[in-house]
């Protein structure tokens, strides 16, 4: 969006907080190396701004989901190591070579394809230890370790797996996965290993190994049941377009699902589910919905969230006026609280942010 274009929705992004969050996780996990997961447009805040800020803080390794994201990281930091989590297909070989991308290889077929089309170029092998998502089975991993020619051609530089329940420190699967990963690692004694995500870092040094891969913790959302979020990075604000009065007994919004029990002053705000502010954050007679923050006070969402508009109750805010900015989430309105009202998690709100919000960067590399 043109910085001078009129906007009713503002996303303020603190790149300094992002850098400090990475440094905190780096210090916590040292001597393991600390990478950064910047998939989904750096969790919605923008690869082109997030990656240079993280690189300036000292990060040299970045993980993305798909090759196109890897190209954008490469353009932002020419000498970084860029890993593509969603693997490799033979027809992608030219693209990976052109941008020096390193695939995380999730199947024997993809390992063979990489070895055949990009021999000698570095890659990572992913082993599934209990999530049943991507990765080689334990049996396949052992078989791979017995194929030295394939290992050499694929130029494996790291072994990784992914924790399924790290956000629940007491879950028994955490220790099970660590035990299985150690067993697999024994088949690849020369390879550095990576297991811990944001929450995994806080499970202790046994989980750190050689490289940790924080994601959502970098961006200020909750990442574990027993840990407070790090510094807030993203703040979403929307302007009040109109203030109106509704009488007791009237309804608000589509479906007339929210009845007014007393005379109410309503502010209509320039945001909606097209901006990634979930429809389920709205309220009904049976569902309280989320809250927002206006002039230092919490205000409830009234009725359904529309595509482009939200209604809030400003009866208790006598000075509320058209043009005021309402904090939908940020330092005063935790994103995870808003997400919980919608039955989801902060990850989803961050990664679903609309590009039509005017973005204002502050802190490191904000020029």
Active site residue 254: yes
User: String of b and e for 129-160 (b: at least 16 CB within 10 Å)?
Assistant: bbeeebbbebebbbebbeeeebbebbebbbbb
The DSSP H or E segment spanning 96 is: helix 93-98
Q: Can you tell me which residue has the tokens 């995380």?
A: 104
Q: Which of 83, 95, 175, 254 is catalytic?
A: 254
Helix (H/G/I), strand (E/B), else coil: 328: strand
Q: Which of 23, 39, 43, 83 is catalytic?
A: 39
What are the angstrom distances between the C-alpha of 287 and each of 146, 237, 299, 301, 342?
57, 23, 15, 11, 10
Q: Give the span between the Cα atoms of 22 and 45, in whole angstroms.
A: 15
Q: Which of 339, 252, 259 is nearest to 291 (CA)?
A: 339
Active site residue 39: yes
Ranges assigned E (strand) in 117-214? 123-126, 156-160, 193-194, 211-212
The structure tokens listed for 246 are 């509704």
Helix (H/G/I), strand (E/B), else coil: 117: helix
Peptide bond into 31 cis (omega under 30): yes
Q: Which residues contact 6 (CB under 8 A, 6 or more apart)?
A: none
The structure tokens listed for 170 are 């007491």
Contact of 223 with 198, CB cutoff 8 Å: yes
Contact of 312 with 326, CB cutoff 8 Å: yes
Active site residues: 39, 254
């Amino acid at each position: 969006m043109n910085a001078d274009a009129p906007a009713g929705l503002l996303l303020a992004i603190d790149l300094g907080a992002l850098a400090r969050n990475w440094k905190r996780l780096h210090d916590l996990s040292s001597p393991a190396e600390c990478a950064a997961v910047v998939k989904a447009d750096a969790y919605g805040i923008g690869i082109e701004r997030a990656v240079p800020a993280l690189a300036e803080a000292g990060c040299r390794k970045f993980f993305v989901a798909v090759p196109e994201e890897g190209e954008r990281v490469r353009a932002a930091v020419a000498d970084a190591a860029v890993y593509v989590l969603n693997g490799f297909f033979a027809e992608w070989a030219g693209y990976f070579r052109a941008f020096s991308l390193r695939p995380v290889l999730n199947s024997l077929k993809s390992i063979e394809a990489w070895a055949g089309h990009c021999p000698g170029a570095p890659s990572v092998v992913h082993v599934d230890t209990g999530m049943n998502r991507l990765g080689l089975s334990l049996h396949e991993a052992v078989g791979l370790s017995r194929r030295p020619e394939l290992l050499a051609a694929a130029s494996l530089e790291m072994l990784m797996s992914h924790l399924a329940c790290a956000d629940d420190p007491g879950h028994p699967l955490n220790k099970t996965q660590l035990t299985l990963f150690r067993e697999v690692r024994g088949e690849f004694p020369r390879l550095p290993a990576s297991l811990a995500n944001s929450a995994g870092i806080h499970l202790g040094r046994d989980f750190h190994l050689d490289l940790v891969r924080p994601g959502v913790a970098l961006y200020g959302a909750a990442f574990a049941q027993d840990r407070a979020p790090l510094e807030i990075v993203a703040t979403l604000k929307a302007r009040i377009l109109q203030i109106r009065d509704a009488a007791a007994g009237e309804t608000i919004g589509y479906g007339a699902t929210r009845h007014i029990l007393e005379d109410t002053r309503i502010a209509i705000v320039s945001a909606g589910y097209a901006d990634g502010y979930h429809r389920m954050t709205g309220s009904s007679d049976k569902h309280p919905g989320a809250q927002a923050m206006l002039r230092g006070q919490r205000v409830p969402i009234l009725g359904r969230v529309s595509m482009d508009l939200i209604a809030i109750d400003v009866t208790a805010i006598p000075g509320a006026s058209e043009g005021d900015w309402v904090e939908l989430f940020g330092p005063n309105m935790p994103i995870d609280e808003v997400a919980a009202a919608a039955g989801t998690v902060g990850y989803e709100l961050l990664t679903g942010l609309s590009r039509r919000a005017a973005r204002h960067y502050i802190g490191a590399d904000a020029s």
